[in-house]
Amino acid sequence: MIPVRGYRDAQVAVLGLGRSGLTAALALRAGGAIPVVWDDNEAARQKALDEGIEVADLTKDKSWEDVVSLIVSPGIPHLYPTPHPIVQKAWSHGVVVDNDIGLFFRSYATQDWEKFDTIPKVICVTGSNGKSTTTALIQHILNAAGRNATMAGNIGRGVLDLPPARDGDVVVLELSSYQTDLARALAPDVAVFMNLSPDHLDRHNGMGGYFAAKRRLFIEGGPDKAIIGVDEPEGRFLANQIRQDKTGDPVIAISSGQKLQGQGWSVFARKGFLAEWRKNRQVASIDLRDIVGLPGAHNHQNACAAYAACRSLNIPPKVIEAALKTYPGLPHRCQVLGKGKDVLFVNDSKATNIDAAEQALKAFKNIRWIVGGQAKEGGITALAPLFDRVKKAYLIGEATTDFASQLGTTPQSQCETIERAVAAAVADADAGDVILLAPACASFDQYPNFEKRGDAFIAAVTPHLDG
């Protein structure tokens, strides 16, 4: 655990006692602060009491008399669509509002680092899609290269649950827009911006606010290296804002699908090949086409981002190439489960929006598509140009009726559940087909999260796998 610095003997309130909130309270106490906590859930409050942490009803003005800071968990709105009432209480009492990411950046570096031969590094990854895979891939490459790398943040463990830094450590953080928006301190050594597509717009009052939340990591964080996906206008704008001159420094531009030219440092993937260019010449190339853990153009962008991050830490291209070939992939993210009777089964339960589902559809052909759940605004109409890749759709969840009409003439079957969808798809499948779970929907109509939905798919598929 990383003891929080700067609050010794001061009272700090924590709102929300999920994974990050309870860890923040414990880390505050480890650093000498006096945490007081609140959660609307009685079981969560009891868990804090079991840890010996004081529970205070922060809806009451009397609870704020000695509080100097409020730490807010990422799932709690602090501005849009409406600030949480307890956040507004903090404002009215003059209490500064922060989150665990801000606490991490003010506490991770210590005087002990002066004794280290290699100063620890923090790599932060943000964007709409691909964050988790890129974060995990960076950690995988660094560990394969002999560096001690740990991932945390929006994936794995809470940031304050990490151990104190050791000589040469690298922390790789996946950061959501909720986390970057509120943190009062941001200081990554390397920051990665993957891409931007509409998501969480209610929490940011539109695309402008959403982009602004992610932009903070770069403009206020001031990384030594900024790895920027330039396939959307926002990425090109951000890269232009950060670069100092025509050499592009400190930007490493990345792309999936376009060749990047110029004097700067770039990494891009085209037709299945990753290329690194510097000063208008190619310095390395990797064939990505047969890497099982990274199927499709969207994963090639993830590979470019991870490659660039590791090159910024001077990991050799050949070492990165070898590590890419051993990357197993993350569960529920275009996860290749295996084959049965020459039919490929792919679990992309994390494809909770149409942009992620689009990438999955682009990655395969002859698709038997399991789709549906709790639909998001717009449904799947924007995916119509890819329906010719779908041999048949198998509809599940709340979205069944709406998606049936949106699919038009695409062959379809209304299955309601994943188990029925898998059974129907297996019965219909021909050799060379791909049975793909890419719901383009939230899971909350039938499952508490996308992981449980993916687990249900795996359980239904397992009896049909070879071996």
pLDDT in tens, 429-459: 999 999 999 999 999 999 999 999 999 999 9
Is residue 135 within 8 A of residue 149, CB to CB? The reply is no
pLDDT at 418 over 80: yes
- Cα gap 182→103, rounded to integer Å: 11
Confidence of residue 256 (pLDDT cuts 50, 70, 90): very high
User: Mind listing the domains of the chain with CATH numbers?
Assistant: 11-98 (3.40.50.720), 108-325 (3.40.1190.10), 335-464 (3.90.190.20)
The mean per-residue pLDDT over the stretch 229-234 comes to: 96
- Cα gap 122→116, rounded to integer Å: 15
DSSP code, position 151: E
Q: What is the pLDDT of residue 197?
A: 86
Confidence of residue 292 (pLDDT cuts 50, 70, 90): confident
pLDDT at 199 over 80: no
The mean per-residue pLDDT over the stretch 219-239 comes to: 97
The mean per-residue pLDDT over the stretch 411-423 comes to: 98
Q: What is the pLDDT of residue 262?
A: 82
Which DSSP string do the residues of 8-32 spell out, in sequence order?
Answer: TT-EEEEE--SHHHHHHHHHHHHTT
Q: What is the pLDDT of residue 416?
A: 96
Nearest to 268 by CA among 373, 278, 249, 292: 278
Of residues 170 and 330, which shows the higher confidence score? 170
Would the annotation count 133 as a binding residue? yes
Q: What is the pLDDT of residue 237?
A: 97
Confidence of residue 81 (pLDDT cuts 50, 70, 90): very high
Helix (H) or strand (E) run with residue 171 in it: strand 170-174
Q: What is the pLDDT of residue 211?
A: 96
Is residue 244 within 8 A of residue 285, CB to CB? The reply is no
Confidence of residue 373 (pLDDT cuts 50, 70, 90): very high
Is residue 219 within 8 A of residue 191, CB to CB? The reply is no
Nearest to 26 by CA among 53, 50, 54: 53
Parallel, antiparallel, or unpaired for β 343-347 and 335-340?
antiparallel
Q: What is the pLDDT of residue 174?
A: 97
The mean per-residue pLDDT over the stretch 157-168 comes to: 96
- Cα gap 74→55, rounded to integer Å: 20
Q: What is the pLDDT of residue 19?
A: 84
Is residue 393 within 8 A of residue 371, CB to CB? The reply is yes
- What is the CB neighbour count within 10 angstroms for residue 139? 22
Q: What is the pLDDT of residue 245?
A: 86
* 100-120: b (≥16 Cβ within 10 Å) or e: bbbbbbbbbeeeeeeeeeeeb
- Cα gap 390→386, rounded to integer Å: 7
Percent of the chain whose predicted confidence (pLDDT) is above 90: 90
Per residue in 23-64, pLDDT tens? 999 999 999 999 999 999 999 999 999 999 999 999 999 999
Cβ-based burial of 415 (10 A; exposed 0-12, middle 13-18, buried ≥19): buried
The mean per-residue pLDDT over the stretch 360-381 comes to: 95
Q: What are the DSSP E strand ranges found in 182-303?
A: 190-193, 225-229, 251-256, 265-270, 273-278, 281-287
Cβ-based burial of 163 (10 A; exposed 0-12, middle 13-18, buried ≥19): exposed
* Structure tokens, 141: 């490459």
SS3 248: coil
Mean pLDDT of the chain: 95
- Cα gap 12→256, rounded to integer Å: 44
**CA 315 to chain centroid:** 23
Is residue 103 within 8 A of residue 13, CB to CB? The reply is no
Per residue in 102-118, pLDDT tens? 999 999 999 999 999 99
Q: What is the pLDDT of residue 137?
A: 97
Angle between helices 131-144 and 296-312 (to 10 degrees): 50
- Cα gap 253→242, rounded to integer Å: 11
User: Residue 179 corresponds to which amino acid?
Assistant: Q
Would the annotation count 128 as a binding residue? yes
The mean per-residue pLDDT over the stretch 404-421 comes to: 97
Q: What is the pLDDT of residue 337?
A: 94
**CA 419 to chain centroid:** 28
Would the annotation count 143 as a binding residue? no
Would the annotation count 131 as a binding residue? yes
Confidence of residue 8 (pLDDT cuts 50, 70, 90): very high
Nearest to 259 by CA among 231, 296, 284, 232: 231
Q: What is the pLDDT of residue 377?
A: 86
Q: How many CA atoms are closer than 13 Å to the CA of 202, on its beta-carbon side? A: 8
Q: What is the pLDDT of residue 93?
A: 97
